[in-house]
Structure 1
Amino acid sequence: MRIIRTRDYNHMSEHAAAVIAAQLTLQPNSTLGLATGSTPLGAYVRLVEMCAAGKISFAQVQSYNLDEYRGLTHDDPQSYHHFMWENLFSRVDIDVTRTHVPDGSNEDAASTCANYDAAIEAAGGIDLQLLGIGNNGHIGFNEPGDEFVVGTHCVDLTESTIKANSRLFESIDEVPRQAYTLGIGAIMHARRILVIASGTAKADAVHAMCYGPVTPACPASVLQLHPDCIVIADAAALSAC
């Protein structure tokens, strides 16, 4: 695990975008694993700018998102599909037919998850997986628990995750209580992993991820075992390290 300390959120975003841009330059047909939430927004802004300037291209890229709320359709403004369309897919030269987000509208969890795993396997796996980290150490929606779940699965969101995500909804009551998420196995099979973190609220989780025991009580700690994992975090997120 390689840790890169940055000054602040903007500096972190610049470094993260540079890593993704380098991936696309070296391997234009990369399969990217993408994340949502406030943390990657700055990196996406910079990637959009680089694409508009002709410095990078997404034309040969295919992507698989980490997760999606169960019960939300793709066109729901709170869905992660909509988030990706608004913040990246509609602003770069990616073929939208080659972008993939778990189908939150499919109530059949078993088929939704199995199909998503099969699609990633058929694509040859993920070349670069972008991750954020939750305040409780979750990656994707893999919440703290008694075991690492390997495949894509439906998860009951913890109260801390629901509270953290409620800032994006009009009220906490509107936050879905379940989500489909890529499993730890698929994440760990990515050839390279990029974790980004910002702010003091993430400091304890980042410390546990980098220096704590490998335990499903902090799902991100498993990343210590990955052969090519880069952590880019600002000084606040690394303040406990």
Structure 2
Amino acid sequence: MESQYQNRQYEKLQVKVFPDRQALGYQAAEEAAAYLRQRLASQQQVRIVFAAAPSQNAFLDRLRQAPDIEWSRVSAFHMDEYIGLAEGAEQLFSHYLTTHLFRDVQPGEVHLIPASGQPEQIIQRYSDLLAVAPIDMVCLGIGENGHLAFNDPPVADFADPQVMKVVELDAVCRQQQVNDGCFSTLAAVPRHALTLTIPTLLSAQRLFCMVPGKNKRQAVTDTLRQPITTACPSTILRQHAGCTLYTDSDAFQELADA
């Protein structure tokens, strides 16, 4: 499958625009897999942080099929998790990543954020695990409100001193979980979550950011056009030279209006 796309540049951020989310997912996975192989050729272990969301489906579908990857030398993390859901709930991000990727490729280490326990203890343990060595790559998306992980505008901090923190989810973020079909009602969406902070995510050498669909059109436009402030946290991606944004014609306003 040969993916056709348009290349754009917004400050340091490379943007690739595809006809649809399947082409987006295929190309993003091909490039992520190539980078992963490159890192595995030069170091013993590669450390990756993954997002869990429907926007990642096509990407993860292709990534788990990528050949010639020694997943046994990969240490995998995820970037956020709800607080208050029952163990085993299908909406847990640990469940999503296990079923969409980890169960098939079987990384050597998988560090899941627990669904229950004392948040302070979870934060300390996860922060210690992340501090062992640099993060090599992050596979992420952008929320409808421009959030990165669960760093919504009210709680986002580009200079956050913490590695991970407890946050209260804003109304737009919680509604997105309903829009995505993850919860049937807004009342069912947890109000609090654990999230890696923005500096933690941006510390990775390479970021692969997959953002398809009409529901993300405003978020993509704001990411590329708004001032770089926490009013739209994803604008900070324009300052990361190792980030590529993969989007599609549904989400990219300039093509949608053409």
Identity %: 26
Q: Is the 8 A contact 1:136 1:144 kept in 2?
A: yes
Q: Is the 8 A contact 1:141 1:181 kept in 2?
A: yes
CA distance in structure 1 between the aligned counterparts of 2:130 and 2:150, rounded to whole angstroms: 18
Q: Alignment partner for residue 208 of structure 1, among 222, 225, 243?
A: 222
Q: Is the 8 A contact 2:138 2:201 kept in 1?
A: yes
Give the letter for the 2:33 counterpart. A
Unaligned 5+ segments in structure 2 are 1-12
Equivalence map 1:31-180=2 (5 Å): 31-50=47-66, 54-72=67-85, 74-95=87-108, 98-106=109-117, 108-122=118-132, 124-145=133-154, 148=157, 149-151=160-162, 152-166=164-178, 167-180=181-194
- Per the normalisation by structure 1, the TM-score is 0.90
- The 3-state SS of whatever aligns with 1:40 is helix
Give the letter for the 2:89 counterpart. D
Deviations 1:154-206 (A, max 9, x none): 11111111111122124332211111000011011111111111112212211
Give the letter for the 1:233 counterpart. T
Tell me whether 1:14 sits opposite 2:14 in the alignment: no
Quote the offset at 1:82 in angstroms.
1.0
CA distance in structure 2 between the aligned counterparts of 1:181 and 1:12, rounded to whole angstroms: 26
Give the letter for the 1:102 counterpart. I
Q: Is the 8 A contact 2:156 2:198 kept in 1?
A: no
Give the letter for the 1:177 counterpart. R
Q: Is the 8 A contact 2:55 2:141 kept in 1?
A: yes
Quote the offset at 1:146 in angstroms.
6.5
- The 3-state SS of whatever aligns with 1:20 is helix
Give the letter for the 1:140 counterpart. A
Tell me whether 1:184 sits opposite 2:194 in the alignment: no
- Per the normalisation by structure 2, the TM-score is 0.85
The count of residues paired between Structure 1 and Structure 2 equals 234
- The 3-state SS of whatever aligns with 1:213 is coil
Give the letter for the 2:129 counterpart. A
Deviations 1:89-118 (A, max 9, x none): 1111323xx111322312x32232232222
CA distance in structure 1 between the aligned counterparts of 2:38 and 2:76, rounded to whole angstroms: 17
CA distance in structure 2 between the aligned counterparts of 1:90 and 1:49, rounded to whole angstroms: 13
Q: CA RMSD in A?
A: 1.7
